[in-house]
Structure 1
Amino acid sequence: MASTLDPGAPAAQGNLKARLRRAERLRKLKAVGLVAPLALFLVIVFVLPIGSMLLNSVDNGSLRQVMPATAASLQEWDGEGLPEAATFAAFAEELRDSRRGGGLGSVGRRLNYEDSGFRGLLMRTLMGLPRESDDWRATLIDIDPAWGEGVTWRRIQAAAPPRTDRYLLASVDLERGADGEIQRVDADSRLYQAVFQRTLVIAGGVTLICLALGFPLAYLLATLPARTSNLLMILVLLPFWTSLLVRTAAWIILLQSNGLANQSLMALGLVESPLQLVFNRIGVFFAMVHILLPFMVLPLYSVMKGISPSYQRAAVSLGAHPFAAFWQVYVPQTVSGVAAGTILVFIMALGYYITPALVGGPADQMVSYYVAYYTNTTNNWGMAAALGSILLAVTLLLYLVYHRLVNRKQMIGS
């Protein structure tokens, strides 16, 4: 009763609430300060590169940057006949100015994606371009008759919009026809659907082999005495201490015609002549499984180490067969480790480049090979980004499907 009659009580309560709010605000600021470096790292290392890749897959700004007037004029053209005389004049003036700053190279490279002879056409036109003309349409046609064909200008028109779906469609063997409808490319030009299928098959096969080899190995490591288990774990981690390139080169030496593998098989009388074990799919599986197996073993081992052996022994003591006890009691508890290991190995296998490029043959190259080709050889960043975006979308889709299946199995098991 005395506290309610005290005139200073409301002020004290207000001060207490203010101090609590300040303490809560300070706690939140400290939490944000602790998380901010990691969030900034994720933004710089993951979000920005992925966002840049997604933008590059639809970017079409080369022509607009170098020839803005031509691009704007062609976007208003209906595609019938030839463009207006003003378009010819703007194109001639901007073509002459494009020699400065390397603009002509970027335009020629972009238009070459529409027609492989466009760079040469631009160079011939630039060399024969006069300083002035009363009729730029006639002048350009005199330099090269291709400027009098509507198809030439329609190809330039295709490069005029700031965004395009050309690269994304091409990465799955599709294109837009003359009527603007999406259609499949010619049978002789179809490549990337088979490449994506091959990538998924190789990544899936490597994942299954790693699971088949890694599960019993992880179980052995988790059930052996600590001293023996630690020694074997060092052997499992040993590949991490060797360069990826060195390990890949070692497999080439082991699997070649006169390598240790073939010599051993011939010495045992299992084969009469050397087998082709390298520069094909067999060599790719050998090398990739060896490199990725530890990434399967470690998640499985971390989960199995926390499973008490008393559950399995209790099931056996109640009359269950040892295998039934293992399959129905022990294995369901390892689902999280299996999920983590398979997802980790599968995602890493999808993006492998060096190992298939060195150990595999032409029919064993994965999507990453073509991404590197378009990035380093042809400088076609749009196509490289489109292939990377499709691979990212496929990975996320498969992960969501797998995650749902694992959750459903866990719900059924519980």
Structure 2
Amino acid sequence: MTDLTLTTAGGITPGDAGESRRLKRALRRTRRRESWNAVLLLLPLALVTAIFFLLPIASLLTGAVHSPDYASSFPRTAALVAQGTTFDEGFYAALFTDISEADAAQNSGAGARRLNQDMAGFTTMLKKTTRQAREGAPAAGEARAWFENVDPRWVDPEYQAAIARAAATNTDFFLLKSVDLQRDKAGNITAVPDDQALFRRVLLRTLTISLGVTFISCVLGYPLAWALVNASPGWRRIMLTGVLFPFWTSLLVRSAAWVIVLQKEGPINKLLLTLGVISEPLTLVFNRFGVMVALTHVLLPFLVLPLYSVMRGIPRDYLRAAKSLGARPTRAFLTSYVPLTLPGLGAGAILVFIMAIGYYITPALVGGPNDQMISYFIAFYTNNTINWGLASALALNLLAVTLVLYALYRRLTAPAGGMGGA
């Protein structure tokens, strides 16, 4: 009873103050326990995400700047280049030893491939030199002359510069090549010859197709989402089934179906010929038109669904209120309804765009040679030429473009107060 008694001055007794501190400590312990429980619950998901998602991506992107292939095949010359050695007699003696040991260990493939990625002809040179090395070693002090006699390109400054670039474990070679740049024999960054420039055009083509598909999806998806919101329950179920139906079909099947529909003997050309609209079949597939149509069909639901969910949450009273204040239906729709749907439209548009820039199967099946997007080249360099470094660099460029455009989208959709957008 003494601890709960108020002092004559109206304050709290020392017993009450101690109890208050104990309660605060107990509350802090409870909150810490709840926080740790939440962390433990999320830990399995975080581990799965890190192991099966983040680590593979990090490993792939690391390949854009990390290239140990030459050093693993020819370690002696790689070490000499790292020390800043010139291409003197000692270097060529070490190169002969590297080639002989790599031949004995059957380990020259990776190094040869890395050299050939930088400059064509190295694979042939190495095979020829390996055959000569099996017949006997050069005399002491004549290693450089021996290599020059086997193939004069071994002492060519441009090929020497290529060896120096390939010997570096960490390199910007693939990143530069992925944007049509290179280092000359003096180490300066220059543009590649016009007949070799490719990747900037491919990246621009990828962005153009993706933006076009996003725009078409917005034009088609907005009225479709509006119709879904305002339809009767029965029609809404039927329309939603139509929107979701593509998810029940394989992407490969959907893409192949458009080849059949759009081909010269397909139903669209037959209908147009029957109606007399055209006199000969149109080329609607294996070109940019076919890619845009097929990608829009595949990605349209990803815009409609978020936009539909936002539209459903907008009270219809807003339109009626705008009309009651004298606004015409079109003006009321544009000024009081459309702005409220922009978060859903923006979310759907950025989702469609991000998915479009990474699509591979649909452009590969429906498009022509000049319609392949950057994902095609990433797959090509990964599976066909085993050029992991260039594939990683292209993937890194694609990721960088995506992050920049997403940051721009967040900036444009941020409220005036400066907080991030939805």
The bucket for the TM-score relative to the shorter chain is: over 0.9
1:139 aligns with 2:136: no
**Partner SS state of residue 304, structure 1:** helix
Give the counterpart letter for 2:222 in structure 1.
F
Q: Deviations over 1:232-287 (max 9, x none)?
A: 10111001100111111111111111100000111111111111101111111111
CA distance in 2, matches of 1:318, 1:18: 58
Task: Kindly report which structure 2 residues correspond to 1:115-194, keeping only aligned pairs within 5 A, or say none.
Answer: 115-129=119-133, 130=136, 133-135=139-141, 136-194=143-201
**Counterparts of 2:221 and 2:278, CA distance in 1:** 29
In 2: Cα distance, 1:402 partner to 1:292 partner: 19
Identity of aligned residues (%): 46
Letter in 2 for 1:3: D
Q: Structure 2 residue aligned with 1:268, among 270, 275, 282? A: 275
Q: Which amino acid aligns with 1:179?
A: A
Of 243, 246, 255, the match for 1:239: 246
Note the aligned Cα RMSD (angstroms): 2.3
- For 2:264, the aligned partner's letter is S
Aligned match for 2:328, one of 310, 321, 327: 321
**The residue matched to 1:279 in structure 2 has which SS?**
coil
Bigger shift: 113-122 or 328-337? 113-122
After superposition, the Cα gap between the structure-2 partners of 1:169 and 1:132, relative to the gap in structure 1 and judged at 3 Å, is closer
Q: How far 1:68 sits from its partner (Å)?
A: 2.3
Q: Is the 8 A contact 2:161 2:185 kept in 1?
A: no
Summarize the alignment of residues 49-128 of structure 1 with structure 2, pairs less than 5 Å apart.
Answer: 49-77=56-84, 83-99=87-103, 102-128=106-132
Tell me how far apart the structure 2 counterparts of residues 66 and 334 of structure 1 sit (CA, whole Å): 59
Question: Which of 390, 396, 400 is the equivalent residue of 2:397?
Answer: 390
Query: In structure 2, what is the Cα distance between the partners aligned to 1:14 and 1:236?
Result: 59
Deviation at 1:24, TM superposition (A): 2.3
What residue number does 2:9 align with?
A: none
Looking at structure 1, the residues matched to 129 and 229 of structure 2 have their Cα atoms a distance apart, in angstroms, of 73
Measured in 2, the distance between the counterparts of 1:219 and 1:403 equals 24
Cα shift at 1:316: 0.7
- Which residue does 1:39 correspond to in 2? 46
My pick for the range that moved more, 67-76 or 14-23, is 14-23
Query: Is the partner of 1:175 in helix, strand or coil?
Result: strand
Does the CA contact (< 8 Å) of 2:4 and 2:15 recur in 1? no
Inter-partner Cα distance in structure 1 for 2:181 and 2:158: 20
Aligned-partner residue type, residue 241 of structure 2: I
| 1:139-169 CA distance string (max 9 Å, x none) | 3334333334343322211112121111111
**Please, which runs of 5 or more residues in structure 1 have no aligned partner?**
none
Query: Tell me, what secondary structure is at the counterpart of 1:164?
Result: coil
Counting matched residue pairs gives 408
Q: Which residue of 1 aligns with 2:8?
A: none
Q: After alignment, is 395-404 or 326-335 more displaced?
A: 395-404
- The worse-fitting range, judged by mean Cα deviation, of 146-155 and 22-31 is 146-155
Matched letter for residue 145 of structure 1: P
**TM-superposed deviation, 1:188:** 1.1
Q: Deviations over 1:371-394 (max 9, x none)?
A: 111011000001001111111111
Q: Equivalents in 2 of 1:295, 1:11: separation in Å? A: 59
Q: Secondary structure at the match of 1:352?
A: coil
Deviations 1:281-310 (A, max 9, x none): 111111111111101100100100111101
Structure 2, gaps ≥5 residues long = 6-12
Residue 29 of structure 1 is matched in structure 2 by 36
Normalised by the length of structure 1, the TM-score is: 0.92
d(CA) in 2 for partners of 1:107, 1:376: 18
Q: 1:102 to 1:261 in 2, by over 3 A?
A: farther
Deviation at 1:370, TM superposition (A): 0.6
- Whether 1:335 and 2:342 are equivalent positions in the alignment is yes
| Residue aligning to 2:219 | 212
Residues 164, 224 of structure 1: alpha-carbon distance in 2 compared, 3 angstrom cutoff: same
Written as runs of structure 1 = structure 2, the 5 A alignment for 1:7-26 is 16=23, 19-26=26-33
Q: Distance in 2 between matches of 1:339 and 1:409?
A: 17
**Aligned equivalents of 1:213, 1:147: Cα separation in 2:** 60
Shift in Å, 1:226: 2.0
Report if aligned partners of 2:72, 2:111 keep a CA contact under 8 Å in 1.
no
Q: CA deviation at 1:358?
A: 0.8
Deviation track 1:63-110 (CA, whole Å, cap 9, x = no partner) reads 12222221121234465xxx2322222211121111355520000000
How far off its partner does 1:131 sit?
5.3
Q: Does 1:304 align with 2:308?
A: no
Instruction: Tell whether the 8 Å contact from 2:203 to 2:373 is kept in structure 1 after alignment.
Output: yes
Partner of 1:2: 2
CA distance in 1 between partners of 2:75 and 2:379 (Å): 31
CA displacement at 1:26 relative to structure 2: 1.5
In the superposition, relative to structure 1, how do residues 13 and 300 fare at CA in structure 2: closer, same or farther (>3 Å)?
closer
Measure, in 2, the Cα distance between the counterparts of 1:283 and 1:371: 22
Moved more, 338-347 or 92-101: 92-101
Q: Does 1:351 align with 2:358?
A: yes
The letter for the 1-side match of 2:128 is R
SS at match of 1:99: helix
The SS at the match of 1:326 is: helix
Q: Distance in 1 between matches of 2:140 and 2:328?
A: 96
Task: Verify the 8 A CA contact 2:255 2:362 in the aligned structure 1.
Answer: yes
TM-score normalized by structure 2? 0.91
